[in-house]
Copies of this chain bind each other. A is one copy, B any other.
């Protein structure tokens, strides 16, 4: 089958690498609005050709939408407006509910499969593409009852080819859980970065003191706003709830220090330690 990837950054580029390796694409087409990224993607051999969106729509059996959330929101209804009966459109974005609402009544809704591969790094652009990024990771497939069986089958084939395991949820559940398990991590990392940078104005202590622990906790603070502002925008209410729950627990830990209740602090740490059993 001919596969077109819209957006050749971290996610789109990594799909390109793994799909090529899996050998399931007769041709890999790329659509990329940034001229620089387009040139780099060709240099890296990520796709066979860079084409305009219209050509990709005409010449592909499958379209993978791997652009930021706001661009997916603008693109999906347009793509569904011209999609052919045998074509499959898959979005790979991090939020799902508002997108689902936006196309719920679309006459070609069934050609679309909503998917969120739970894999990534803090880097962006074609150079961030990694072979094997998805191997052993999970892809969440949302609202599959609204997608045509053959479109589901095509999506599963593609995800299987890059080594992803499947989980199923509706888009509302997805967004609520993603707010806690993915989006909140970014809020915490951004806030940690901002707090440390305010204190360590001249960057005096960070390079001296930063062990692997700080680097690990703050890693996601390197993630670009182009990707993350749309996520916070589209998943605003669940993220606000998750932030409140997080603030409550930070306050609880703080209170233990304020009143010297180190027995309670120990209990909380032991409870926090139980994350070992879930990861």
- Give residues in A with beta carbon < 8 Å to B: 118-122, 137-138, 140, 167, 169, 177-178, 180-182, 184-200, 203-225, 228-229, 232-233, 236, 239-240, 242-254, 256-258, 260, 262, 265-266, 268-279
Q: Please give, as numbers and ranges, the residues of chain B lying within 8 Å of A274 by CB-CB distance.
A: 193, 197
Q: Which of A122, A178, A184, A214 has the most CB of B within 10 A?
A: A214
User: Which of B182, B222, B277 is within 8 Å of A203, CB to CB?
Assistant: B277
The residues of B that contact A217 with a CB separation of less than 8 Å are 185, 188-189, 216-217, 219-220
CA distance A236 to B259 in the complex (A): 11
A-B contact list, 22 entries, CB within 8 Å: A140-B209, A184-B196, A187-B250, A190-B249, A190-B253, A191-B252, A193-B273, A194-B271, A197-B275, A200-B278, A207-B279, A215-B279, A216-B217, A217-B219, A221-B275, A229-B269, A232-B257, A236-B257, A236-B260, A239-B257, A240-B258, A247-B251
Say whether B212 contacts A120, CB under 8 Å. Answer: yes
Q: How many copies of this chain does one complex carry? A: 2
Beta-carbon contact of B240 and A254 below 8 Å: yes
Question: Across the interface, which residues of B come within 8 angstroms of A197, CB to CB?
Answer: 271-272, 274-275, 278
A207–B138 alpha-carbon span in the complex (Å): 9
Nearest B residue to A167, CB-CB: B208
Q: Is the CB of B180 within 8 A of A205?
A: yes
Q: Which residue of chain B lies nearest to A274 when distances are taken between CB atoms in the complex?
A: B197
Tell me the complex Cα distance, A253–B253, Å.
20
Query: A209 — which chain B residues lie within 8 A by C-beta?
Result: 118, 138, 140, 167, 177-178, 181-182
Q: Is the CB of B275 within 8 A of A196?
A: yes
- Give the chain B neighbours of A120 by CB distance below 8 A: 211-213
The docked-state distance in angstroms from the alpha carbon of A278 to that of B200 is 10
Q: Tell me whether A193 and B272 are in contact (CB under 8 A).
A: yes
Across the interface, which residues of B come within 8 angstroms of A204, CB to CB? 177
Name the one of B137, B188, B211 contacting A211, with C-beta atoms under 8 angstroms: B137
